[in-house]
Structures are given as C-alpha cells and as structure tokens.
Amino acid sequence: MWLNLLLLGMAAHLAVLVLLYALGAPAVRKARGLDGRTPAPGLPSPQPAVALIVPLTGDSPALRQSLASLLDQQNVVFDAWFVVRDADDPAVRAVEEIGRGRNNVRLVVAGAATACCQKNHNLLAGIRAAGESPEILVFCDSSHQARPDFLVRLLEPVMRGRCALSTTHRRIVPGDHGLATLCQYFAALAVMMLQNAPLLAQPWGGATAIRRAVFFKEGVDAVWARGIVDDFTMGPHLARRGIRALPVPEAALTTPLAGQTWTGFLDWWTRQLFYLKFCMPLVWLAVTLVPLGAGAILAAACWSLLAGIAGPWGSAAWAAAAYLGLLAVLGLPFGALSESRVPTWRWAAAFLLMQAASVFCYARTWTTNTLTWRGIRYQARLDGTVASVRHEDSGK
C-alpha cells in the first residue's frame, strides 16, 4: 500500500513540473527572443506622461549598469525618479553621476519608513515627488538590467487601453556554476513561469506599469502605506476589484547573479514565500500540503534508494532511482532556457537541490512573522500589513 502511495506521489510531482514547463516555457522563450523577437510596438501620439520610479540603495558597478540600462530607453519619453532613504546613501552619488547630462533624472530622499516596508515608503515618496502630471506610473527594481525596448513594450498595452496594469518579471542569468546560484536561477524561473500562466498573472518582481488614476482610485496607495511589500500586495488587491495584470514577457529584465551563497539563496527564497504567507494567507495555508508532500516523497525516495543500496534491491529502490533520475533529467530543459553554459550534471544536481530547498524554505515560513531585509526588521500581520519596523542600523 505504501509503495503505491509513493509511486502516486512521485508521478504527481513529476507531472506538476512537466505542466509548469509546458505553461511557462513559451513566455521564457519570448523573453529571450529564442523564436525571433517581434519589432517593438509603437506608442500613441501624443504620448501620455510617464514617471519611472526606482527605489534603491548602495552603489556598485552592477547597480550603475542597471540604472544606465533603465535610462537608455528608446522611442519613449519619461521622467525617472530614483528614491533613496538617506541623503548619505552611496546610491546618491551613483544617480548623480549616471544622471549627469540627462534632463529627465530626479533624486528623492524619502527618509526612514515607520509604518510600511522601506521599499513601499520610497515608492510612495517618488509618486508624491512626481506630482499629478504623469498619467502612467512605472515601478522597477534597481538590480535588473533592461533592454532598450523594455519600457515601450511594458507601456504599450496600458497606453493603448488593453489593460490598466501590465507587468513583467526578471530572468536570472547565472554568472558561475555554483549550485546555490543555479538553485536561485531555477526558483526565479519558476516564479516567472507561474506569473505568465493563465489566471495566475500578477506583479511579483521585475517591473509594473499602471495608470495613475487607477492606482489612487483603487486605493493602492493606502495598501502600500501599511504593506510589507509592494507588488505582492498590489496584485491581489486589484484582482479582488476585477483588475488583473497583463504579463508582458518580451519586456522581461535580466539579473546577473554570481557568487551566491547557500545562506543568501535560502534567505531570498524564504522571503519570497513569506510574501505569499503575508499577502495571500489562505492560499499559503491551502498549498501547505504540496511542499510537505513533496518533502515526504523526496525523503522516502532517498531512504528507499539508500536501503536498496545497503540491502536487497527491490521495487521501492527501482521506483526511487527512476523518480530521482527523472527529476534530475527534468532540470535539463529548465536549464536550457538560460543563455549560460553550465555543465549538464550541475543543472541536474541544482534542480534536485532546489526541490529540497523549497520544502525547507516553505517550512521556515511557519516559524515566524518577522522579516529582515537590508538591515530593517519588520513584524508583519497575516493581512499583509506591517505591525512594527525596527531599523537595526540605527536601533530604532
């Protein structure tokens, strides 16, 4: 009986991954232009005013390259508002130097957040600074690199009236063969695939464009003023009001990643799953059986395989070997969606490890309601709001 249940669980796990690939791979191929890249669409004339708002902190060559790529957009007129917490943030110098000679670059100092996450606080400060003239607001992270047609592609469906909210994700581009780096590639890839699946599309990383009138009419500003995160609170909030995001995979950003540590990857992946807990608690609770079941199946498969190696090689050992082998092989088509050249065995090993890491990270979300990010500790409620904010660098 137990073997039949194990076989059923193994088959279900493999089937879910095959379905994820079938639903999500076309969007990833569009993002990379693997089947040919369609010409960038034209925007209406006269073009609605656009404000690009980017919260940021710190300074590095990678950050400067990302900021430059966001500013070097073709065939679109926009103002860029870069928002930092403090006037002495190293990012200030980066913005000043990259913005030199550009008349559409603005810098905003937001101050420290007290009632929401710092990112939301910075975004709201950027919106206030931009004033009422922009018709469309674009929110984007500072760590991603953009193609020159990124903004045109993201804005076109909003400007043409095909949607009020468009969004795109980001693709991680592994810069080394480290297993933690490759695990994060697979995790981000899964999120991108889910984001582009029917009925599941919502802002989650990358960039988002929304009509300013909709943003305020639907009360997104009030949600952000209390929220633990920006995109994952906005998406469900608008969906409940009948406004769904239109995914634009062709506008996808890229994030070079190298030298990732296991601690860095596990903390990042746990943080992504935390947002599900805080912003969609019923979904988080309902799908708990999925990671628990996957963990039990992985553990049983490993035990059966080891037992078969140590003793008689029976049906359970054959099933475990076949399951783990197929699971590893499934990582190869997912890995092939990357432009990075990685040894086959590393793709396979990282895909196996990512399954186990996801179970571990999901379990971690049950242990606390505290989220720490960039030196700030947030105590969050299950409605996505922030109960308290503690800036560890200042002790307040």
**How many residues belong to the chain?**
396
Q: Which of 24-33, 186-195, 215-224, 274-283 is predicted with the least confidence, judged by mean pLDDT? A: 274-283
Contact between 27 and 192 (Cβ < 8 Å):
yes
pLDDT tens per residue, range 242-301? 999 999 999 999 999 999 999 999 999 998 888 888 888 888 887 887 888 888 888 888
* Mean per-residue pLDDT of the chain: 91
pLDDT tens per residue, range 123-167? 999 999 999 999 999 999 998 999 999 999 999 999 999 999 999
| Domain boundaries defined on the chain | 36-260
Which secondary-structure segment (H or E) carries 52?
Answer: strand 50-55
What is the dotted CATH code of the domain comprising 36-260? 3.90.550.10
CA distances to 119, 221, 256, 323 from 85, rounded to whole Å, are 9, 18, 25, 49
The HSE-up count of residue 239 (CA atoms within 13 Å, CB side) is: 15
Structural tokens at position 338: 């990357």
In this predicted structure, the answer to whether residue 357 has a pLDDT above a threshold of 80 is yes
Which SS3 state, helix, strand or coil, does residue 89 take? coil
pLDDT tens per residue, range 360-395? 999 999 988 888 887 889 999 888 899 999 887 654
How many angstroms separate the CA atoms of 384 and 290, rounded?
22
Q: Tell me, what's the pLDDT at 189? A: 95
Q: Tell me, what's the pLDDT at 393? A: 63
Contact between 372 and 391 (Cβ < 8 Å):
no
In this predicted structure, the answer to whether residue 12 has a pLDDT above a threshold of 70 is yes
How many angstroms separate the CA atoms of 202 and 166, rounded?
9
Q: Which of 48-62, 211-225, 268-282 is predicted with the least confidence, judged by mean pLDDT? A: 268-282
The one-character DSSP state at 145 is: B
CB atoms within 10 A of CB 304: 22
Q: Which of 42-56, 148-162, 209-223, 358-372 is predicted with the least confidence, judged by mean pLDDT? A: 358-372
